[in-house]
Structure 1
Amino acid sequence: MSRTIKMVVFDMAGTTVNENNIVYKTLQKAINEAGYNFTLDEVLAEGAGKEKLQAIKSILKTYAGNTDTELADRIYSNFSVQLTEAYQTAKLLPQPNAADLFSALKERNIFRVLNTGYSRPVAQSIIDILDWKEGTEYDQLVTATDVSGGRPEPDMILFAADKFGIKPAEIIKVGDSIIDIEEGKNAGSALSIGITTGAHTPGQLQSANPDHIIDNLMELLPIIDRY
Protein backbone atom coordinates (compact mmCIF):
# COMPACT_ATOMS: atom_id res chain seq x y z
CA MET A 1 0.00 0.00 0.00
CA SER A 2 1.21 3.47 -0.84
CA ARG A 3 2.48 5.47 2.11
CA THR A 4 3.21 8.59 0.12
CA ILE A 5 -0.05 9.23 -1.79
CA LYS A 6 -2.57 10.87 0.51
CA MET A 7 -5.03 12.44 -1.94
CA VAL A 8 -6.41 11.86 -5.43
CA VAL A 9 -7.99 14.82 -7.22
CA PHE A 10 -10.45 13.70 -9.89
CA ASP A 11 -12.00 15.71 -12.68
CA MET A 12 -15.75 15.14 -12.96
CA ALA A 13 -17.30 15.00 -16.46
CA GLY A 14 -15.56 12.38 -18.58
CA THR A 15 -13.45 11.13 -15.68
CA THR A 16 -15.72 10.15 -12.79
CA VAL A 17 -19.05 11.15 -14.37
CA ASN A 18 -20.50 9.86 -17.65
CA GLU A 19 -22.72 12.65 -18.99
CA ASN A 20 -22.27 11.91 -22.70
CA ASN A 21 -20.61 15.28 -23.35
CA ILE A 22 -23.85 17.12 -22.58
CA VAL A 23 -21.92 20.18 -21.38
CA TYR A 24 -19.80 20.47 -24.52
CA LYS A 25 -22.71 19.72 -26.83
CA THR A 26 -24.62 22.51 -25.10
CA LEU A 27 -21.57 24.77 -25.33
CA GLN A 28 -21.26 24.02 -29.05
CA LYS A 29 -24.95 24.84 -29.56
CA ALA A 30 -24.72 28.14 -27.67
CA ILE A 31 -21.64 29.28 -29.59
CA ASN A 32 -23.01 28.27 -32.96
CA GLU A 33 -26.26 30.12 -32.24
CA ALA A 34 -24.09 33.26 -32.25
CA GLY A 35 -23.30 32.69 -35.93
CA TYR A 36 -20.57 30.05 -35.95
CA ASN A 37 -20.35 26.47 -37.17
CA PHE A 38 -17.82 24.80 -34.89
CA THR A 39 -17.74 21.02 -34.64
CA LEU A 40 -17.97 19.17 -31.35
CA ASP A 41 -14.40 17.95 -31.87
CA GLU A 42 -13.22 21.56 -32.12
CA VAL A 43 -15.12 22.53 -28.99
CA LEU A 44 -13.67 19.57 -27.08
CA ALA A 45 -10.14 20.13 -28.33
CA GLU A 46 -10.00 23.75 -27.20
CA GLY A 47 -12.55 23.93 -24.40
CA ALA A 48 -12.36 20.68 -22.46
CA GLY A 49 -11.61 21.07 -18.77
CA LYS A 50 -11.63 24.85 -18.73
CA GLU A 51 -13.92 27.14 -16.77
CA LYS A 52 -16.72 27.54 -19.25
CA LEU A 53 -16.53 31.29 -19.93
CA GLN A 54 -12.81 30.87 -20.51
CA ALA A 55 -13.58 27.92 -22.78
CA ILE A 56 -15.86 30.10 -24.90
CA LYS A 57 -13.22 32.82 -25.16
CA SER A 58 -10.55 30.26 -26.12
CA ILE A 59 -12.74 28.67 -28.80
CA LEU A 60 -13.67 32.02 -30.34
CA LYS A 61 -10.08 33.26 -30.32
CA THR A 62 -8.52 30.05 -31.63
CA TYR A 63 -10.93 29.27 -34.45
CA ALA A 64 -12.34 32.70 -35.35
CA GLY A 65 -9.76 35.20 -34.11
CA ASN A 66 -12.57 36.83 -32.11
CA THR A 67 -11.66 38.40 -28.75
CA ASP A 68 -14.97 40.23 -28.15
CA THR A 69 -15.55 39.76 -24.41
CA GLU A 70 -19.12 41.06 -24.57
CA LEU A 71 -19.96 38.41 -27.17
CA ALA A 72 -18.38 35.73 -24.98
CA ASP A 73 -20.43 36.94 -22.00
CA ARG A 74 -23.66 36.77 -24.04
CA ILE A 75 -22.86 33.25 -25.23
CA TYR A 76 -22.04 32.20 -21.68
CA SER A 77 -25.37 33.54 -20.39
CA ASN A 78 -27.22 31.63 -23.13
CA PHE A 79 -25.16 28.52 -22.41
CA SER A 80 -25.94 28.67 -18.68
CA VAL A 81 -29.69 28.77 -19.32
CA GLN A 82 -29.52 25.93 -21.85
CA LEU A 83 -27.36 23.79 -19.58
CA THR A 84 -29.81 24.12 -16.69
CA GLU A 85 -32.57 22.94 -19.03
CA ALA A 86 -30.45 20.10 -20.41
CA TYR A 87 -29.65 18.72 -16.98
CA GLN A 88 -33.34 18.47 -16.13
CA THR A 89 -33.68 15.59 -18.58
CA ALA A 90 -30.10 14.33 -18.79
CA LYS A 91 -29.16 10.79 -17.90
CA LEU A 92 -26.06 11.04 -15.73
CA LEU A 93 -24.17 8.00 -14.53
CA PRO A 94 -20.95 7.37 -12.62
CA GLN A 95 -18.12 6.26 -14.86
CA PRO A 96 -17.53 2.49 -14.68
CA ASN A 97 -15.95 1.42 -11.38
CA ALA A 98 -16.08 4.92 -9.88
CA ALA A 99 -17.89 3.70 -6.75
CA ASP A 100 -15.49 0.78 -6.27
CA LEU A 101 -12.48 3.04 -6.65
CA PHE A 102 -13.83 5.63 -4.23
CA SER A 103 -14.42 2.85 -1.69
CA ALA A 104 -10.95 1.38 -2.18
CA LEU A 105 -9.31 4.77 -1.70
CA LYS A 106 -11.29 5.36 1.48
CA GLU A 107 -10.06 2.02 2.82
CA ARG A 108 -6.50 3.22 2.12
CA ASN A 109 -7.18 6.51 3.98
CA ILE A 110 -6.61 8.47 0.77
CA PHE A 111 -8.68 11.64 0.41
CA ARG A 112 -10.93 11.80 -2.67
CA VAL A 113 -11.43 15.27 -4.13
CA LEU A 114 -13.63 16.18 -7.09
CA ASN A 115 -12.62 19.25 -9.06
CA THR A 116 -14.18 20.76 -12.13
CA GLY A 117 -14.30 23.66 -14.57
CA TYR A 118 -18.03 23.91 -13.83
CA SER A 119 -19.50 26.48 -11.49
CA ARG A 120 -20.40 25.22 -8.02
CA PRO A 121 -24.18 25.17 -8.68
CA VAL A 122 -23.72 23.03 -11.81
CA ALA A 123 -21.24 20.70 -10.14
CA GLN A 124 -23.45 20.29 -7.09
CA SER A 125 -26.46 19.53 -9.26
CA ILE A 126 -24.50 16.69 -10.90
CA ILE A 127 -23.47 15.30 -7.53
CA ASP A 128 -27.07 15.48 -6.31
CA ILE A 129 -28.36 13.61 -9.38
CA LEU A 130 -25.77 10.87 -8.78
CA ASP A 131 -26.64 10.87 -5.06
CA TRP A 132 -22.99 11.12 -4.09
CA LYS A 133 -22.44 12.21 -0.50
CA GLU A 134 -19.50 14.08 0.98
CA GLY A 135 -17.68 11.69 3.27
CA THR A 136 -19.01 8.61 1.48
CA GLU A 137 -18.13 8.79 -2.23
CA TYR A 138 -15.91 11.88 -1.97
CA ASP A 139 -14.29 14.10 0.65
CA GLN A 140 -14.37 17.53 -1.00
CA LEU A 141 -15.69 19.32 -4.07
CA VAL A 142 -13.67 22.22 -5.51
CA THR A 143 -15.05 24.15 -8.48
CA ALA A 144 -13.81 26.83 -10.83
CA THR A 145 -15.87 29.43 -8.96
CA ASP A 146 -14.22 28.61 -5.61
CA VAL A 147 -10.78 29.91 -6.66
CA SER A 148 -9.32 32.79 -8.63
CA GLY A 149 -7.28 30.81 -11.16
CA GLY A 150 -8.93 28.27 -13.45
CA ARG A 151 -7.14 25.36 -15.10
CA PRO A 152 -4.35 24.96 -16.02
CA GLU A 153 -3.54 27.08 -12.98
CA PRO A 154 -3.12 24.85 -9.90
CA ASP A 155 -5.45 26.80 -7.62
CA MET A 156 -8.14 24.12 -7.21
CA ILE A 157 -5.63 21.42 -6.31
CA LEU A 158 -3.75 23.68 -3.92
CA PHE A 159 -7.06 24.74 -2.33
CA ALA A 160 -7.86 21.10 -1.56
CA ALA A 161 -4.32 20.37 -0.39
CA ASP A 162 -4.46 23.27 2.04
CA LYS A 163 -7.78 22.15 3.52
CA PHE A 164 -6.48 18.69 4.37
CA GLY A 165 -2.88 19.64 5.13
CA ILE A 166 -1.55 17.61 2.21
CA LYS A 167 1.61 18.43 0.25
CA PRO A 168 1.30 18.59 -3.56
CA ALA A 169 3.90 15.82 -3.80
CA GLU A 170 1.42 13.55 -1.98
CA ILE A 171 -1.34 14.13 -4.55
CA ILE A 172 -2.32 12.41 -7.80
CA LYS A 173 -4.43 14.29 -10.37
CA VAL A 174 -6.61 12.29 -12.77
CA GLY A 175 -8.48 13.82 -15.70
CA ASP A 176 -9.65 13.28 -19.26
CA SER A 177 -8.25 16.44 -20.86
CA ILE A 178 -4.90 18.02 -21.63
CA ILE A 179 -5.65 20.86 -19.26
CA ASP A 180 -6.25 18.40 -16.40
CA ILE A 181 -2.78 16.99 -16.91
CA GLU A 182 -1.26 20.47 -17.09
CA GLU A 183 -3.11 21.43 -13.90
CA GLY A 184 -1.61 18.48 -12.04
CA LYS A 185 1.87 19.30 -13.27
CA ASN A 186 1.53 22.98 -12.37
CA ALA A 187 0.46 22.02 -8.85
CA GLY A 188 3.57 19.89 -8.39
CA SER A 189 1.51 16.72 -8.01
CA ALA A 190 3.29 13.41 -7.56
CA LEU A 191 1.60 12.09 -10.69
CA SER A 192 -0.59 13.65 -13.36
CA ILE A 193 -2.62 10.95 -15.07
CA GLY A 194 -4.80 11.06 -18.18
CA ILE A 195 -7.82 8.82 -18.66
CA THR A 196 -9.30 7.96 -22.06
CA THR A 197 -12.99 7.89 -21.05
CA GLY A 198 -13.77 11.53 -21.83
CA ALA A 199 -12.98 14.60 -23.89
CA HIS A 200 -9.54 13.95 -25.36
CA THR A 201 -8.09 11.10 -27.37
CA PRO A 202 -5.05 9.12 -26.17
CA GLY A 203 -2.92 11.07 -28.66
CA GLN A 204 -4.16 14.39 -27.36
CA LEU A 205 -3.57 13.31 -23.77
CA GLN A 206 -0.07 12.11 -24.64
CA SER A 207 0.81 15.54 -26.01
CA ALA A 208 0.67 16.86 -22.43
CA ASN A 209 3.25 14.27 -21.28
CA PRO A 210 1.23 12.64 -18.49
CA ASP A 211 2.91 10.23 -16.10
CA HIS A 212 0.40 7.56 -17.10
CA ILE A 213 -2.60 7.15 -19.39
CA ILE A 214 -5.29 4.76 -18.17
CA ASP A 215 -8.45 3.42 -19.80
CA ASN A 216 -10.40 2.58 -16.63
CA LEU A 217 -10.51 4.13 -13.18
CA MET A 218 -9.53 0.89 -11.43
CA GLU A 219 -6.17 0.98 -13.22
CA LEU A 220 -5.29 3.72 -10.76
CA LEU A 221 -5.05 1.38 -7.77
CA PRO A 222 -1.94 -0.58 -8.80
CA ILE A 223 -0.25 2.69 -9.74
CA ILE A 224 -0.94 4.04 -6.25
CA ASP A 225 0.10 0.84 -4.54
CA ARG A 226 3.42 0.77 -6.41
CA TYR A 227 4.22 4.40 -5.70
Structure 2
Amino acid sequence: MVSNVSTDIRLVVLDMAGTTVADGGLVEQAFSKAAERLGVEPGSQDHAEKLQYVRDTMGESKITVFRALFGDEEKAQLANARFEEAYGELVNGGKIAPLPGAEEAIGRLKAEGRTVVLTTGFARATQDAILSALGWHDLVGLTLCPADAGRGRPYPDMVLAAFLRTAAVDGVRQIAVAGDTAYDMLSGVRSGAGLVAGVLTGAHDEQALKEAGATHVLASVAELPDAIAAFENATTP
Protein backbone atom coordinates (compact mmCIF):
# COMPACT_ATOMS: atom_id res chain seq x y z
CA MET A 1 0.00 0.00 0.00
CA VAL A 2 1.37 3.40 -1.01
CA SER A 3 1.11 6.12 1.63
CA ASN A 4 -0.37 9.50 0.84
CA VAL A 5 2.09 12.27 -0.04
CA SER A 6 2.23 15.05 2.53
CA THR A 7 0.53 18.32 1.64
CA ASP A 8 3.35 20.35 3.18
CA ILE A 9 4.51 22.87 0.58
CA ARG A 10 8.19 22.24 -0.09
CA LEU A 11 8.61 23.91 -3.51
CA VAL A 12 7.42 27.42 -4.39
CA VAL A 13 7.45 28.48 -8.04
CA LEU A 14 7.15 32.25 -8.45
CA ASP A 15 6.59 34.37 -11.53
CA MET A 16 8.76 37.46 -11.90
CA ALA A 17 7.29 40.52 -13.70
CA GLY A 18 4.05 41.55 -11.99
CA THR A 19 4.46 39.08 -9.13
CA THR A 20 7.86 39.61 -7.53
CA VAL A 21 9.10 42.37 -9.85
CA ALA A 22 7.46 45.72 -10.64
CA ASP A 23 8.22 46.66 -14.23
CA GLY A 24 5.96 49.70 -14.54
CA GLY A 25 4.37 48.69 -17.84
CA LEU A 26 7.67 47.92 -19.56
CA VAL A 27 6.12 45.01 -21.48
CA GLU A 28 3.77 47.38 -23.28
CA GLN A 29 6.53 49.91 -23.89
CA ALA A 30 8.87 47.27 -25.27
CA PHE A 31 6.12 45.81 -27.45
CA SER A 32 5.34 49.22 -28.92
CA LYS A 33 9.01 49.75 -29.80
CA ALA A 34 9.29 46.29 -31.34
CA ALA A 35 6.04 46.62 -33.30
CA GLU A 36 7.04 49.99 -34.71
CA ARG A 37 10.27 48.48 -36.03
CA LEU A 38 8.14 45.90 -37.86
CA GLY A 39 5.98 48.58 -39.47
CA VAL A 40 3.07 48.70 -37.03
CA GLU A 41 2.18 52.38 -36.89
CA PRO A 42 1.76 53.81 -33.35
CA GLY A 43 -1.79 55.06 -32.83
CA SER A 44 -3.20 52.89 -35.61
CA GLN A 45 -6.04 50.41 -35.19
CA ASP A 46 -3.61 47.60 -35.93
CA HIS A 47 -1.34 48.77 -33.11
CA ALA A 48 -4.25 49.06 -30.68
CA GLU A 49 -5.51 45.56 -31.47
CA LYS A 50 -2.06 44.00 -31.16
CA LEU A 51 -1.36 45.83 -27.91
CA GLN A 52 -4.66 44.59 -26.47
CA TYR A 53 -3.69 41.04 -27.38
CA VAL A 54 -0.38 41.52 -25.56
CA ARG A 55 -2.30 42.69 -22.48
CA ASP A 56 -4.72 39.78 -22.66
CA THR A 57 -1.91 37.22 -22.93
CA MET A 58 0.37 38.57 -20.21
CA GLY A 59 2.23 35.65 -18.67
CA GLU A 60 2.37 33.60 -21.86
CA SER A 61 5.71 32.85 -23.52
CA LYS A 62 6.52 35.94 -25.57
CA ILE A 63 7.56 34.07 -28.72
CA THR A 64 4.16 32.33 -28.67
CA VAL A 65 2.45 35.73 -28.45
CA PHE A 66 4.41 37.05 -31.42
CA ARG A 67 3.64 33.95 -33.48
CA ALA A 68 -0.06 34.65 -32.94
CA LEU A 69 0.32 38.33 -33.78
CA PHE A 70 2.55 38.23 -36.84
CA GLY A 71 1.74 34.87 -38.41
CA ASP A 72 4.91 33.59 -40.04
CA GLU A 73 7.87 32.36 -38.04
CA GLU A 74 10.41 34.79 -39.45
CA LYS A 75 8.39 37.84 -38.46
CA ALA A 76 7.61 36.32 -35.06
CA GLN A 77 11.28 35.67 -34.34
CA LEU A 78 12.22 39.18 -35.46
CA ALA A 79 9.47 40.73 -33.33
CA ASN A 80 10.54 38.68 -30.33
CA ALA A 81 14.19 39.69 -30.77
CA ARG A 82 13.23 43.36 -31.05
CA PHE A 83 10.97 43.07 -28.00
CA GLU A 84 13.65 41.44 -25.86
CA GLU A 85 16.16 44.05 -26.99
CA ALA A 86 13.83 46.93 -26.14
CA TYR A 87 12.85 45.41 -22.78
CA GLY A 88 16.51 44.84 -21.91
CA GLU A 89 17.30 48.48 -22.68
CA LEU A 90 14.51 49.63 -20.36
CA VAL A 91 15.67 47.27 -17.61
CA ASN A 92 19.25 48.48 -17.94
CA GLY A 93 17.93 52.02 -17.70
CA GLY A 94 16.87 51.32 -14.12
CA LYS A 95 13.13 51.09 -14.81
CA ILE A 96 12.54 48.00 -12.71
CA ALA A 97 12.35 47.20 -8.99
CA PRO A 98 11.29 44.45 -6.59
CA LEU A 99 7.64 44.60 -5.59
CA PRO A 100 7.19 45.60 -1.94
CA GLY A 101 7.65 42.63 0.34
CA ALA A 102 8.85 40.27 -2.41
CA GLU A 103 12.41 39.84 -1.17
CA GLU A 104 11.21 39.45 2.41
CA ALA A 105 8.65 36.82 1.36
CA ILE A 106 11.27 34.85 -0.55
CA GLY A 107 13.65 35.10 2.41
CA ARG A 108 10.98 33.81 4.78
CA LEU A 109 10.02 30.93 2.49
CA LYS A 110 13.66 29.86 2.27
CA ALA A 111 14.13 30.22 6.04
CA GLU A 112 11.17 27.87 6.48
CA GLY A 113 13.05 25.26 4.48
CA ARG A 114 11.14 25.66 1.24
CA THR A 115 12.85 25.69 -2.18
CA VAL A 116 12.00 28.79 -4.25
CA VAL A 117 12.27 28.94 -8.05
CA LEU A 118 11.75 32.07 -10.19
CA THR A 119 10.14 31.72 -13.63
CA THR A 120 9.38 34.03 -16.53
CA GLY A 121 7.81 34.17 -19.98
CA PHE A 122 10.81 36.14 -21.24
CA ALA A 123 13.90 34.73 -22.95
CA ARG A 124 16.93 33.81 -20.82
CA ALA A 125 18.87 36.94 -21.81
CA THR A 126 16.05 39.18 -20.58
CA GLN A 127 15.56 37.16 -17.41
CA ASP A 128 19.29 37.47 -16.67
CA ALA A 129 19.14 41.23 -17.30
CA ILE A 130 16.33 41.54 -14.74
CA LEU A 131 18.19 39.40 -12.20
CA SER A 132 21.33 41.49 -12.69
CA ALA A 133 19.47 44.80 -12.39
CA LEU A 134 17.94 43.67 -9.09
CA GLY A 135 21.04 41.90 -7.76
CA TRP A 136 19.01 38.68 -7.57
CA HIS A 137 21.35 36.14 -9.17
CA ASP A 138 22.02 34.57 -5.77
CA LEU A 139 18.52 35.08 -4.36
CA VAL A 140 17.30 31.60 -5.34
CA GLY A 141 19.01 28.44 -6.49
CA LEU A 142 17.14 28.03 -9.77
CA THR A 143 15.57 30.34 -12.35
CA LEU A 144 13.70 29.09 -15.42
CA CYS A 145 12.53 30.53 -18.73
CA PRO A 146 10.44 28.72 -21.38
CA ALA A 147 13.49 27.52 -23.31
CA ASP A 148 14.78 25.79 -20.18
CA ALA A 149 11.63 23.69 -19.86
CA GLY A 150 10.25 23.07 -23.35
CA ARG A 151 7.17 25.29 -23.47
CA GLY A 152 6.10 28.43 -21.67
CA ARG A 153 2.82 29.16 -19.94
CA PRO A 154 -0.01 28.19 -19.96
CA TYR A 155 1.69 24.80 -20.24
CA PRO A 156 2.95 23.30 -16.96
CA ASP A 157 6.46 22.68 -18.25
CA MET A 158 8.33 25.24 -16.12
CA VAL A 159 6.61 24.11 -12.92
CA LEU A 160 7.34 20.48 -13.73
CA ALA A 161 10.93 21.35 -14.68
CA ALA A 162 11.32 22.96 -11.24
CA PHE A 163 9.87 19.78 -9.71
CA LEU A 164 12.35 17.57 -11.56
CA ARG A 165 15.45 19.73 -11.25
CA THR A 166 15.20 20.55 -7.57
CA ALA A 167 14.03 17.15 -6.31
CA ALA A 168 12.58 19.16 -3.42
CA VAL A 169 9.24 17.34 -3.12
CA ASP A 170 7.75 13.85 -3.22
CA GLY A 171 4.75 14.83 -5.36
CA VAL A 172 3.27 17.77 -7.20
CA ARG A 173 0.75 18.48 -4.44
CA GLN A 174 3.69 19.80 -2.41
CA ILE A 175 4.18 22.62 -4.94
CA ALA A 176 2.85 26.17 -4.65
CA VAL A 177 2.66 28.34 -7.76
CA ALA A 178 2.15 32.11 -7.61
CA GLY A 179 1.69 34.62 -10.40
CA ASP A 180 -0.28 37.64 -11.58
CA THR A 181 -1.88 36.28 -14.75
CA ALA A 182 -4.43 33.70 -15.83
CA TYR A 183 -1.62 31.92 -17.66
CA ASP A 184 0.28 31.50 -14.40
CA MET A 185 -2.85 29.97 -12.86
CA LEU A 186 -3.40 27.59 -15.76
CA SER A 187 0.22 26.49 -15.60
CA GLY A 188 -0.10 25.78 -11.89
CA VAL A 189 -3.40 23.92 -12.22
CA ARG A 190 -2.12 21.80 -15.10
CA SER A 191 1.01 20.88 -13.14
CA GLY A 192 -1.12 19.51 -10.30
CA ALA A 193 0.26 22.00 -7.75
CA GLY A 194 -1.50 21.91 -4.39
CA LEU A 195 -1.70 25.68 -4.03
CA VAL A 196 -2.13 28.06 -6.97
CA ALA A 197 -2.10 31.69 -5.85
CA GLY A 198 -2.96 34.71 -7.94
CA VAL A 199 -1.63 38.12 -6.88
CA LEU A 200 -3.25 41.46 -7.68
CA THR A 201 -0.05 43.41 -8.39
CA GLY A 202 0.10 42.68 -12.11
CA ALA A 203 -1.84 42.13 -15.29
CA HIS A 204 -5.06 40.31 -14.41
CA ASP A 205 -7.86 40.92 -11.93
CA GLU A 206 -9.39 38.63 -9.30
CA GLN A 207 -12.12 37.32 -11.59
CA ALA A 208 -9.66 36.32 -14.33
CA LEU A 209 -7.37 34.63 -11.81
CA LYS A 210 -10.21 32.66 -10.23
CA GLU A 211 -11.66 31.65 -13.59
CA ALA A 212 -8.25 30.25 -14.51
CA GLY A 213 -8.18 28.10 -11.38
CA ALA A 214 -6.57 30.12 -8.60
CA THR A 215 -7.06 28.43 -5.22
CA HIS A 216 -6.07 31.69 -3.50
CA VAL A 217 -6.09 35.35 -4.56
CA LEU A 218 -3.72 37.60 -2.60
CA ALA A 219 -3.12 41.33 -2.55
CA SER A 220 0.56 40.67 -3.18
CA VAL A 221 3.27 38.04 -2.93
CA ALA A 222 4.05 39.42 0.54
CA GLU A 223 0.97 37.49 1.74
CA LEU A 224 2.13 34.18 0.27
CA PRO A 225 4.07 32.78 3.27
CA ASP A 226 1.02 33.20 5.53
CA ALA A 227 -1.26 31.72 2.85
CA ILE A 228 0.98 28.66 2.59
CA ALA A 229 1.03 28.25 6.36
CA ALA A 230 -2.78 28.47 6.51
CA PHE A 231 -3.09 25.96 3.65
CA GLU A 232 -0.85 23.50 5.46
CA ASN A 233 -2.80 23.88 8.71
CA ALA A 234 -6.08 23.32 6.90
CA THR A 235 -4.85 20.18 5.09
CA THR A 236 -3.04 18.55 8.00
CA PRO A 237 -5.11 15.73 9.51
Equivalent position to 1:142, from 123, 129, 144: 144
Residue of structure 2 equivalent to 1:63: none
Residue of structure 2 equivalent to 1:151: 153
Residue of structure 2 equivalent to 1:43: 54
For the residue of structure 2 that corresponds to 1:37, the secondary structure is helix
Q: How far does the alpha carbon of each residue in 1:162-219 deviate from its partner, in whole angstroms, 9 at most, with x for none?
A: 1221221110000001100000011110111111101112222222131011112222
Contact in 2 for aligned 1:14/1:21 (Cα 8 Å): no
Residue of structure 1 equivalent to 2:26: 22
Contact in 2 for aligned 1:177/1:194 (Cα 8 Å): yes
Residue of structure 2 equivalent to 1:128: 132
Contact in 2 for aligned 1:28/1:38 (Cα 8 Å): no
Aligned residues: CA RMSD: 1.9
Residue of structure 1 equivalent to 2:209: 205
> What CA distance in whole angstroms lies between the structure 2 residues aligned with 1:133 and 1:82?
21
> What CA distance in whole angstroms lies between the structure 2 residues aligned with 1:130 and 1:76?
23
Structure 1: runs of 5 or more not aligned:
61-65
Structure 1 window deviating more from structure 2 (179-188 vs 156-165): it is: 156-165
Residue of structure 1 equivalent to 2:116: 112
Contact in 2 for aligned 1:28/1:43 (Cα 8 Å): no
User: TM-score normalized by structure 1?
Assistant: 0.88
Structure 1 window deviating more from structure 2 (34-43 vs 98-107): it is: 34-43
> What CA distance in whole angstroms lies between the structure 1 residues aligned with 2:32 and 2:206?
22
Moved over 4 A (4+): none
| Deviation at residue 114 of structure 1 after TM alignment | 0.1
The count of corresponding residues between Structure 1 and Structure 2 is 217
> What CA distance in whole angstroms lies between the structure 1 residues aligned with 2:85 and 2:134?
21
Distance change in 2, residues 1:200/1:50 (3 Å): same
Q: Determine which structure has more spread, i.e. the larger CA radius of gyration.
A: 2
Structure 2: runs of 5 or more not aligned:
1-5, 41-45, 233-237
Structure 1 window deviating more from structure 2 (102-111 vs 86-95): it is: 86-95
Letter in 1 for 2:56: A
User: TM-score normalized by structure 2?
Assistant: 0.84
